[in-house]
Amino acid sequence: MIQINNVTKTYGNGIKAVNNISLNIKDGEIFGFLGPNGAGKTTTIKMLTGILPLDKGDIIINGKNISKEPLEVKKIIGYVSDNPNMFERLKGIEYLNFMADIYNVSKKVRKEMIVKLGEDFEMIDALNDKIQSYSHGMKQKIVVMGVLLHKPDVWILDEPLTGLDPKSSYILKKMMREHAKANKTVMFSTHVLEVAEKVCDRIAVINKGEILFVGTLAQMKEQGNIDSSLEKMFLEMTEDE
């Protein structure tokens, strides 16, 4: 479970990228985080993962405070960045073993997971190639594989489907659903509203650092008293702001 309590982040120019937001993301659900570019999505996610400090408020993940127990929190989360930086001169298998070493994954478990994920994402034959030779989609897949090696309870994914081919995108969405069904946590940001509409149990819409809506798509339609697509409701909501 992720609890975001009255969290604020202000950058040096005085602009509040995130302004006093609160969210509860439950175990067993896929939670979508939506907003236009510059809305505060990535800033929020970077605070959730301990990359950025909070100016105000608390973030609690599975009972642990990210500000007070950052290493303990990082052990239980799997984070896919929207723009992952990689060691591109490493081979794919070297990168995966590096990630497994960071999280103290045993030789037995890492071998099983590398085979499973490699087969799922059709990357087995590419693991002995250097990452710099990979396509954008292959780089995205190797990042996702590295994140999932230690079987984290909490998945925090920032635009995880970007660059994935349709089959890999389908597989990752299926993995997200299976993870949620195991009563674990999945939070992901996306600008692909059709994906959010089909995949998410609940969503939050953020714009200009403030939460405009939290709930199900049905609740959004009810609140707006309209029968429309998520895309149209999202555009109307953010344009009004």
SS3 letters for the chain?
A: CEEEEEEEEECCCCCEEEEEEEEEECCCCEEEEECCCCCCHHHHHHHHCCCCCCCEEEEEECCEECCCCHHHHHHHEEEECCCCCCCCCCEHHHHHHHHHHHCCCCHHHHHHHHHHHHHHCCCHHHCCCEHHHCCHHHHHHHHHHHHHCCCCCEEEEECCCCCCCHHHHHHHHHHHHHHHHCCCEEEEECCCHHHHHHHCCEEEEEECCEEEEEECHHHHHHHHCCCCCHHHHHHHHHHHC
What lies within 8 Å, CB to CB, of 15 at 6+ separation is: none
Q: What average pLDDT does this structure show over 17-46?
A: 92
pLDDT at residue 232 greater than cutoff 80: no
Going along the chain from its start, the domains and CATH numbers come out as 2-240 (3.40.50.300)
pLDDT at residue 227 greater than cutoff 80: no
Q: Please state the φ and ψ torsions of residue 132, each to the nearest 5 degrees.
A: -65, -15
CB atoms near residue 201 (< 10 Å) = 15
pLDDT attached to residue 17 = 93
User: Which segment of 113-127, 204-218, 224-238 scores lowest on mean pLDDT?
Assistant: 224-238
Q: Which two tokens stand for residue 51?
A: 């990359």
Q: Over the stretch 187-213, which tens digit does the pLDDT of each residue have?
A: 998 877 778 888 899 999 999 999 999
pLDDT attached to residue 223 = 73
Residues forming beta bridges with residue 155, ordered by sequence position: 78, 186
Q: How far apart are CA 122 and CA 8, in angstroms?
A: 41
**Higher per-residue pLDDT: 114 or 239:** 114
CB atoms near residue 180 (< 10 Å) = 20
pLDDT at residue 35 greater than cutoff 90: no
Token pair 């990630």 is found at: 99
What lies within 8 Å, CB to CB, of 216 at 6+ separation is: 201, 202, 203
Categorize the per-residue pLDDT at 216 as very low, low, confident or very high, splitting at 50, 70 and 90.
confident
pLDDT attached to residue 224 = 63
Q: Over the stretch 49-102, which tens digit does the pLDDT of each residue have?
A: 999 999 999 999 999 999 999 999 999 999 988 777 788 999 999 999 999 999
Q: What average pLDDT does this structure show over 17-37?
A: 93
Amino acid at position 18, single letter: V
Categorize the per-residue pLDDT at 110 as very low, low, confident or very high, splitting at 50, 70 and 90.
very high
What lies within 8 Å, CB to CB, of 112 at 6+ separation is: none
What lies within 8 Å, CB to CB, of 133 at 6+ separation is: none
Q: Please state the φ and ψ torsions of residue 7, each to the nearest 5 degrees.
A: -95, 135
Q: Over the stretch 124-174, which tens digit does the pLDDT of each residue have?
A: 999 999 999 998 888 888 999 999 999 999 999 988 887 788 888 888 898
